[in-house]
Structure 1
Amino acid sequence: MNETFDDLLDAGSRADVSGWDFAWLEGRATEERPPWGYARLLADRLGTATASLDVQTGGGEVLAEAPVFPPTAVATESWPPNVAHATRLLHPRGVVVVADPDEPPLPFGDAAFDLVTSRHPATIWWDEIARVLRPGGTYLAQHVGPASAFELVEFFLGPQPGARRGRHPDDEVAAAEAAGLEVVDLRTARLRIEIDDVAAVVYLLRKVIWWVPGFTVEAYRDRLRDLHDLIAAGGPFVAHSTRHLIEARRDPTRP
């Protein structure tokens, strides 16, 4: 039976958005994956590290895919539902989850880790990453790039020209270098997203809350109806995410 517009709004509104697992979208939306395989790269690095920190771990799902962890393994997260989810997932694996507001300073001493990682951090404090890395230590991360999913964002908010430069990899390289890190690898990708119904849209905007700040179904019901009609008439709504893989090392000679 086909779901009505109201059925779809209800489904997206009732879905659990804790953690950072998007499996609920199966059958409702798809997103192309970056070619470099971040989870595999992360697992490889964890296997050779002695002390690791995963910043803004979300629900810990990606970190938990690693088969082994170093003797000291820590993850930080700010959103309470994610802290609880990551704790349940990672504590049995020996990873300590620390509730942290994602603002400097990180709650760790200088040169505490030889590996710092992050997947899709909302904020990036390069000075703090450099501070907690040991000389010669590595930061490996997959970042969201500029204007990611802006077709969807601008459908609801209108043109956002001032925000399109944000998260540009060139700017991040400059900021990393200013903090004393050497960027040794940078790869970028533009990836296709297909959204099949407005239940997926409601779910995404409830979960990725910075796309449309203050989103509620009630406030955006008319625009959701427009999108529902657009999909019904022409097929999936297409957007594009942007990602970059960045690897940076702390200069072993710099204090």
Structure 2
Amino acid sequence: MSEPSEPAPAPAPLPFDSAASRDRFEALVAEADAVSVDGWDFSWLAGRATEERPSWGYARAMADRLGRAHAALDLQTGGGEVLAAAPKLPPVTVATEAWPPNIARATALLHPLGAVVVADEDEPPLPFGDAAFDLVVSRHPVTTWWEEIARVLAPGGTYFSQQVGPASVFELVEHFLGPQPPEVRRARHPEDARAAATAAGLDVVDLRSETLRTEFHDIGAVVYFLRKVIWMVPGFTVERYRPQLAALHRRIETEGPFRARTTRFLIEARKPR
């Protein structure tokens, strides 16, 4: 996956409008820098950031498919929150995850539901036999190894995934890193996913994309988001990006919520019988 480039030069330090503004900045940043970012639950952002959801309702549609499957694999499950929300899991349900804190969290959440969590570094090959699953799902995978997905799917099996699309939240990314080159802005294009799935021998039966709106209401929400979604601004820390954070804090206080465009796409592909 293409990643954003190196940090943009830090803007010249800007004085805060007042001591109160400076104190708010320091308090919001300190709070967001201290809170845990384990798992894939964004409830800490309630009231502090909003994100439009795609019209297709991925969690509901995934749950419907899980209810009809016999053996399912959830790739890059995070803390297992999306999988655990399904009302019925298949008799064989396996999830993979790479990050140790999320592995522990997903295990505690999914084991009581009868799902097994496998620690996997998200590098091929997947630790499963050929044709092991009739359903593979993944919400917001960092990478998609199409040949491996095709290998572990049984004939007639389905891959169903919601993914982050090109230049998602790049208004925020570029505030910290500066303008990104065209190849970085185009990365994760849904048509590239279609081509890769087809090359792996899968038939793409559904491909939809939407551009949505995200708003950050305070600088703490920005810090939390960038700490949690680590590939947006690689190497992000509060100290490294304090000038950019201070400038954005002033902008939010002056102009209101910081708005960015979020891109998502839904892809469903089947393995021929």
TM-score range relative to shorter protein: over 0.9
Q: What corresponds to 2:74 in structure 1? A: 54
Q: What corresponds to 1:170 in structure 2? A: 191
2:208 maps to which of 182, 187, 204:
187
Q: What corresponds to 1:24 in structure 2? A: 44
Query: How far, CA to CA, are the matches of 1:179 and 1:27 in structure 2?
Result: 42
Alignment of 1:75-94 (within 5 A): 75-94=95-114
Alignment of 1:113-132 (within 5 A): 113-132=133-152
- Is structure 2 residue 156 aligned with structure 1 residue 156? no
2:223 maps to which of 174, 196, 202:
202
Query: How far, CA to CA, are the matches of 1:27 and 1:14 in structure 2?
Result: 18
Query: How far, CA to CA, are the matches of 1:72 and 1:149 in structure 2?
Result: 36
1:63 maps to which of 76, 83, 89:
83
Amino acid at match of 2:65: R
- Is structure 2 residue 54 aligned with structure 1 residue 34? yes
C-alpha distance after superposition, 1:128-152 (max 9, x if no partner): 0000000110000101100010000
Amino acid at match of 1:226: A
So what's the TM-score if we normalise by structure 2? 0.91
Runs of 4+ in 1 over 6 A off after TM superposition: none
Other structure's SS at 1:53 match: strand
C-alpha distance after superposition, 1:214-241 (max 9, x if no partner): 1110010000000000001000000011
Unaligned runs of 5+ in 2: 1-19
Amino acid at match of 2:87: P
- Is structure 2 residue 269 aligned with structure 1 residue 234? no
Other structure's SS at 2:186 match: coil
Other structure's SS at 1:233 match: helix
RMSD after superposition = 1.0
Query: How far, CA to CA, are the matches of 1:10 and 1:28 in structure 2?
Result: 15
Unaligned runs of 5+ in 1: none
Q: What corresponds to 2:35 in structure 1? A: 15
How far 1:27 moved relative to its partner? Answer: 1.2
How far 1:50 moved relative to its partner? Answer: 0.4
Query: How far, CA to CA, are the matches of 1:11 and 1:148 in structure 2?
Result: 26
Query: How far, CA to CA, are the matches of 1:190 and 1:15 in structure 2?
Result: 29
Query: How far, CA to CA, are the matches of 1:34 and 1:69 in structure 2?
Result: 23
